[in-house]
Amino acid sequence: MMSCTLLNPKKRLFLCLLVSLAFFLVVDTSSQQHLEAKKKLMREKVRQMFYHAYDNYMTYAFPHDELKPLTKSFTDSLSELGNLKLEHLPTDYNGSAVTLVESLSSLAILGNSSEFEKGVRWLSDNLKFDIDARVNLFECNIRVLGGLISAHLLAIDPTNRLIQGSYNNQLLRLAEDLGKRFLPAFETPTGLPYAWINLKNGVMENETTETSTSGCGSLILEMGALSRLTGDPRFESAALRALRQLWRMRSSLDLLGTTLDVVTGEWLEYSSSIGAGVDSFYEYLLKAYILFGKEDYWQMFSSAYLASQKYFRHGPWYHEANMWSGKPTYWQLTSLQAFWPGLQVLAGDIAAANSTHREFFYVWEKFGILPERYLLDHQMIHPTMKYYPLRPELAESTFYLYQATKDPWYLDVGEAMVKSLNLYTKVPGGFASVRDVTTMQLEDHQHSFFLAETCKYLYLLFDDSFVAKRNYIFTTEGHPIQVVSSWHEKLPKSYSGNWTLSKRGAWESGASALSLQVCPSIALNSRRPEQHRESACHVPDEKINHRCRSNKE
């Protein structure tokens, strides 16, 4: 064989380049094969985690709501633990199988069509909402209504082939029944819904009027989807009215507080943040824009997002601030904030998402798992909030960042999380919450969102074939809803009574305020001012300085 040194310089250079290229191709191929092997191995580990949690639930807790893994028993989370509460339970009440409802979309993603169909059959025959039960509107919406809607959409998608027998929209009928039972909660002077509703009797006498920003501002995905599927506009209208009212109540800094009164419309807690009590409000503005295509969702989100960057962000961290002054109130990291980098990915702010995500993972590595609250100013865990209830938010953001960057470092993050969950929280009866991350003392509770979100996002991190087939948005409880063009508003080119400025600069009837996104109130030369209509981009404000955008802006 002739060596490179016996060739003339040009041929020698060319041959050596070919050899080098071949070497790098071999190395790259080998590296890619190693990466794929690692992803396959981790995918199977997460699959085993899911079924360890799911099988124990089905064995020891079903049809009750959630599993108590240490004692291998059950809790009806709607009546005992968590944010949901049922009262005056009928003697024959056996739970509403919340974990089963929450698990259906995960079963679909894992490709288990037989277990998915079995779950659909059971829910169709047994799930009832005509019970004298007081439930939290927000939690019941994201867990049960969202789970039913998502599972229905997966069941009717022919590409998934999840139902072998007949399916006659049973889950959608259940969702519609539940949605109708939500509607009395919105019958307030402000349109903001009560936080609690009795599924049989509506709003109870002397019901509390206090709710949270996320509680009344994070309903639009599920209720909007329900309206699109049933043709009944009441669900979306109620949720949208509440969302617009909430936006009208923002401060001049575009900040919102944490809690408010649904009757008076007054703020009760002025501290604003991206964490508990407000978090999913931001999330649903952006995801509603993606799902429904309404421009005003984007306008609200972009204003709120810019305000969060201005008043909350301190390097990679986000503190809380007074909604009126913008001054910091609490310097603390909460585990719920870990969803934020994932939302930033959807908004296209990848650099900021990466920076914040790395800080969250630093805290995870420091303690083995993520504590509920971490005091930034003291660099210590909050003394009374040391627990970790198997939350999914960091796994969620890791999945989104890997999708956006394909940086294998995020796979390492996911691998570390899987290792920690198996090391610290896995028990013979499932996966247990951690009461104290400094001692790893466990608590007898496996939340339904561990199956709905934590396992789902970790699985999708290592196997994204499900999202490669379709465009989906995931609700705040991790339930996938397919993005379809037919759900996007097709705005008319014009309609009578709405005269505004055309793109050519002339006032004419052929352009609408809706399609051009200009405020009808600036149509000074309108020929029919009495027929002005509210445009999609214009949300009436209480504050005079909250003016509508001008044409130039």
Residues facing 66 on adjacent strands? 75
- H or E element that contains 419: helix 409-420
The residue with tokens 């930033």 is 344
Angle at 174 between CA 168 and CA 180, to 5 degrees: 130
**Of 320, 372, 443, 463, which residue is the catalytic one?**
372
What is the token pair recorded at 185?
A: 């909660």
**Of 65, 76, 393, 477, which residue is the catalytic one?**
393
Sheet with 332-334: list strands edge to edge.
332-334, 373-375, 380-381
Rounded to 5 degrees, φ, ψ at 190 are -95, -15
Rounded to 5 degrees, φ, ψ at 348 are 90, 5
What DSSP designation does 425 have? Answer: I
Q: Please tell me the distance from the alpha carbon of residue 349 to that of residue 353, in angstroms, as a whole number.
A: 6
Rounded to 5 degrees, φ, ψ at 198 are -90, 125
Peptide bond into 63 cis (omega under 30): yes
Burial 511-535 (b: 16+ CB within 10 A, else e): bbbbbebbbbbbbeebeeeeebebb
> Do the Cβ atoms of 301 and 293 come closer than 8 Å?
no
For the chain, the C-alpha Rg in angstroms (whole number) is: 26
- H or E element that contains 238: helix 234-248
| Helices and strands, counts by H and E, the chain | 19, 22
Q: Is 396 a catalytic residue?
A: no
Q: Is 36 a catalytic residue?
A: no
Sign of CA dihedral 533, 538, 540, 543: negative
What is the token pair recorded at 498?
A: 């709405």
Q: Is 139 a catalytic residue?
A: yes
**Of 139, 254, 283, 463, which residue is the catalytic one?**
139
Specify the 3-state DSSP secondary structure of 99.
Answer: helix
- H or E element that contains 47: helix 9-60
Where does residue 105 rank: exposed (0-12), middle (13-18), buried (19+ CB within 10 A)?
buried
Rounded to 5 degrees, φ, ψ at 125 are -90, -25
Half-sphere exposure (CA, 13 Å, Cβ side) for 130? 2
C-alpha to C-alpha distances, 459 to 103, 399, 478, nearest whole angstrom: 13, 9, 12
C-alpha to C-alpha distances, 298 to 159, 227, 285, 371, 454, nearest whole angstrom: 31, 20, 7, 32, 28
Query: For strand 66-68 and strand 73-75, is the pairing parallel, antiparallel, or unpaired?
Result: antiparallel
**Of 279, 283, 320, 463, which residue is the catalytic one?**
279
Q: Is 372 a catalytic residue?
A: yes
Q: Which residues are catalytic?
A: 139, 279, 372, 393
